[in-house]
Structure 1
Amino acid sequence: MSKLDLFLNPSAGGGRAGRLEGDLLQHIRALGLEVNVHRTEGPGQGVGLSRDLAEDGCRTLVVAGGDGTLFEAINGCMQADGPMPELALIPIGTGNDFAKSLGIPLAWPDACDRLVLGTRRRIDVGQCNDIFFINTLGIGLDAQIADIAKHRRWLPGDTAYVAALAQSLLLRRRTRVTVIHDQGREEQEITLMVLANGSFEGGRFELAPGADIDDGKLDLVMTPRLSARQIIKLAPKVSNGEIADMPGYKHWLTRRATVLLPEPACVHADGEVIYRQARRLEIGVIPGGVSFLC
């Protein structure tokens, strides 16, 4: 590989991506690579930009930003007519959750070096109705956190998610779900429900420990409604990958799921709110849907 397209979200990481643009380009060019830069100017613009690049014959698309930037790139590329570009990731966002599951270094110079030193890996892609996701899809508390955190992305690191968790505990609504999956049917009131390709959410919370991003399945995780006091007490365990210790924790592997919501609910995909009044979700997985250089 000697030529690539760089999809840069200058606002990612509270503006960190924009501030690093010059250093990124200098480092990438020092690796002997030719790079064309494509910048987004606002939320959602990256979907059309990535789709256009894919349809114009882009072979390698390097995403410089966070999980939201990657979400837009995945959706644009999956919507495109023609071959899917190979993707690479330079994680300079707020949470950088999928980079952890992908094994990409969080230090941006080391991530850049993977453009010449990395190996290719086929990764599963999740789909919810007509929307694609690469990391997680969530309903309940984590969706509320994602919705609140987007207004706090100026905070450093994953502080935005911690602050959003505190506010969510005060504002959260009751959420009841019915989910039909490969191994049965469940109906209950939840704290959260996640269909996970990757393991992490919110920068530090490991909601699906051991999730495999290339097994052709999604990890379906469900926890019953807990009190705010219980959630605060158990949050450190979730940060340490011990979510299975939560009372009433349930976990299955599934290729498909239908989620029915008697009351409209907020839903996020890769930390981006995709529905605020969801009633029915059809969820599946596309095995090996994208190739990553990692």
Structure 2
Amino acid sequence: MARTFTAVVNPAAGGSASAATLIPLARTLREAGAEVVVEYSRGLEHARALARAAADAGHVVLGVGGDGMVGCVGGALAGTEAVFGIVPAGRGNDFARQLGIPRETGELARLLLEGEARAVDAIDANGLTVLGSVYAGVDAVANDNANKTRLLRGSAAYYVGALRAVAAWRPAAYRVTVDGEEHRFAGYTVIAANSGWYGFGRHVAPDARVDDGLLDVVVIKHGPKTRFFQVMRELSDGSHVGRPEVEVLRGREVRIELETPGRTLPYGADGELPGVLPVTATVRPGALRVIVP
């Protein structure tokens, strides 16, 4: 029996890229006998409502876009028996990269038509469901800068945003509690990772797995800014974990707090910025059923 899909798209965020990906994909799925319904959201909360309604109707729900949209739609389905499909059409597509989701239309259509759903973990971050990672530090500031950049897009916007964030960065005093054990240090950032990839293709947690019931907590401690840029370059292949400034912890619950008096820091989640520290990230084992290769 052919599957029925509902594709949830946010036309306000990367709409042209989403359309360019979805139109040939929907055509291919329909030619194979599947039904495809396309729903355009007015924002993230509306996207969540559309996803839940489609799941209640028994449809396979497709999140079309980048990590923000995929995290939003997938997060709305976490904890249910709904089947989720990812259509990578954004700037980063880091969660799709972790799962090995193809971008080529024919391969992706075959996966969605024939692939099996597998249970993967999610994260609860201060009540918000997150798929990839929660991060708090210079990367979240860079994320904020990139979102405010109007002249650049994609990795270029993030690169310029990161340069601005590092140039203005002052060491932050963190208290990170992993499964009840406290760690205090001055540093650049803390990443609680379910997926190994974040920030437009950076392999920040190379040993992270989406089905092990654990979060990999990557800590980048204080050091010269030139050293920090070296660490950033090494994120492409994961070799940064051998640096003395980098420590990897592992646990089921991670609380990230800032101890610098009078200072606030945003935290990021799947490319969005939902709030400021403190944040508690707790793994939700096997919370989401995703069609994967």
List gaps (5 residues or longer) in structure 2: none
Residue 286 of structure 1 aligns with which residue?
284
Deviation at 1:119, TM superposition (A): 2.5
Say yes or no: does 1:141 pair with 2:142. Answer: no
Residue 124 of structure 1 aligns with which residue?
121
Give the Cα–Cα distance (whole angstroms) in 2 for the partners of residues 130 and 165 of structure 1: 28
Deviation at 1:163, TM superposition (A): 2.1
CA RMSD of aligned residues (A): 2.2
Residue 187 of structure 1 aligns with which residue?
184
Report which stretch shifted further, 107-116 or 251-260.
107-116
Deviation at 1:149, TM superposition (A): 1.9
Amino acid at match of 2:271: G
Deviation at 1:143, TM superposition (A): 0.9
Residues 232-243 of structure 1 aligned to structure 2 (within 5 Å) = 232-243=229-240
Question: What secondary structure is seen at the aligned counterpart in 1 of 2:235?
Answer: helix
C-alpha change, 1:12 and 1:31, in structure 2 (3 Å) is farther
Deviation at 1:282, TM superposition (A): 2.2
Residue 65 of structure 1 aligns with which residue?
65
Amino acid at match of 2:203: E
Asked whether the equivalents of residues 13 and 153 of structure 1 are also in contact (C-alpha less than 8 Å), the reply is: no
Give the Cα–Cα distance (whole angstroms) in 2 for the partners of residues 291 and 6 of structure 1: 16
Deviation at 1:257, TM superposition (A): 1.8
Deviation at 1:172, TM superposition (A): 2.8
Asked whether the equivalents of residues 125 and 289 of structure 1 are also in contact (C-alpha less than 8 Å), the reply is: yes
Amino acid at match of 1:77: L
Residue 172 of structure 1 aligns with which residue?
169
Say yes or no: does 1:273 pair with 2:280. Answer: no
Amino acid at match of 1:245: G
Question: What is the TM-score of this pair, normalised by structure 1?
Answer: 0.89
Residue 6 of structure 2 aligns with which residue?
5
Amino acid at match of 2:115: G
Give the Cα–Cα distance (whole angstroms) in 2 for the partners of residues 22 and 144 of structure 1: 34
Give the Cα–Cα distance (whole angstroms) in 2 for the partners of residues 59 and 88 of structure 1: 11
Please list the CA deviations of residues 244-279 of structure 1 after superposition, one character each: whole Å capped at 9, or x if unmatched: 13332111220112222224221011111011x32x
Asked whether the equivalents of residues 133 and 270 of structure 1 are also in contact (C-alpha less than 8 Å), the reply is: yes
Residue 33 of structure 2 aligns with which residue?
32
C-alpha change, 1:89 and 1:169, in structure 2 (3 Å) is same
List gaps (5 residues or longer) in structure 1: none
Report which stretch shifted further, 31-40 or 244-253.
244-253
Amino acid at match of 1:236: R
C-alpha change, 1:153 and 1:51, in structure 2 (3 Å) is farther
Question: What secondary structure is seen at the aligned counterpart in 1 of 2:264?
Answer: strand
Amino acid at match of 1:102: L
C-alpha change, 1:49 and 1:135, in structure 2 (3 Å) is same
Report which stretch shifted further, 28-37 or 135-144.
28-37
Give the Cα–Cα distance (whole angstroms) in 1 for the partners of residues 245 and 289 of structure 2: 36
Aligned partner of 1:244 among 219, 241, 258: 241
Residue 75 of structure 1 aligns with which residue?
75
Give the Cα–Cα distance (whole angstroms) in 2 for the partners of residues 167 and 14 of structure 1: 27
Deviation at 1:291, TM superposition (A): 0.5
Amino acid at match of 2:243: M
Amino acid at match of 1:168: A
Report which stretch shifted further, 150-159 or 60-69.
150-159
Question: What is the TM-score of this pair, normalised by structure 2?
Answer: 0.90
Query: Percent identical across equivalent pairs?
Result: 25
Asked whether the equivalents of residues 90 and 108 of structure 1 are also in contact (C-alpha less than 8 Å), the reply is: no
Asked whether the equivalents of residues 14 and 154 of structure 1 are also in contact (C-alpha less than 8 Å), the reply is: no
Asked whether the equivalents of residues 94 and 153 of structure 1 are also in contact (C-alpha less than 8 Å), the reply is: no
Please list the CA deviations of residues 199-229 of structure 1 after superposition, one character each: whole Å capped at 9, or x if unmatched: 1111121110021000011101101123322
Give the Cα–Cα distance (whole angstroms) in 1 for the partners of residues 255 and 195 of structure 2: 20
C-alpha change, 1:231 and 1:216, in structure 2 (3 Å) is same
Give the Cα–Cα distance (whole angstroms) in 1 for the partners of residues 211 and 167 of structure 2: 37
Give the Cα–Cα distance (whole angstroms) in 1 for the partners of residues 210 and 42 of structure 2: 30
C-alpha change, 1:77 and 1:119, in structure 2 (3 Å) is closer
Residue 50 of structure 1 aligns with which residue?
51
Residue 16 of structure 2 aligns with which residue?
15
Residue 254 of structure 1 aligns with which residue?
251
Asked whether the equivalents of residues 136 and 189 of structure 2 are also in contact (C-alpha less than 8 Å), the reply is: yes
Asked whether the equivalents of residues 223 and 245 of structure 2 are also in contact (C-alpha less than 8 Å), the reply is: no
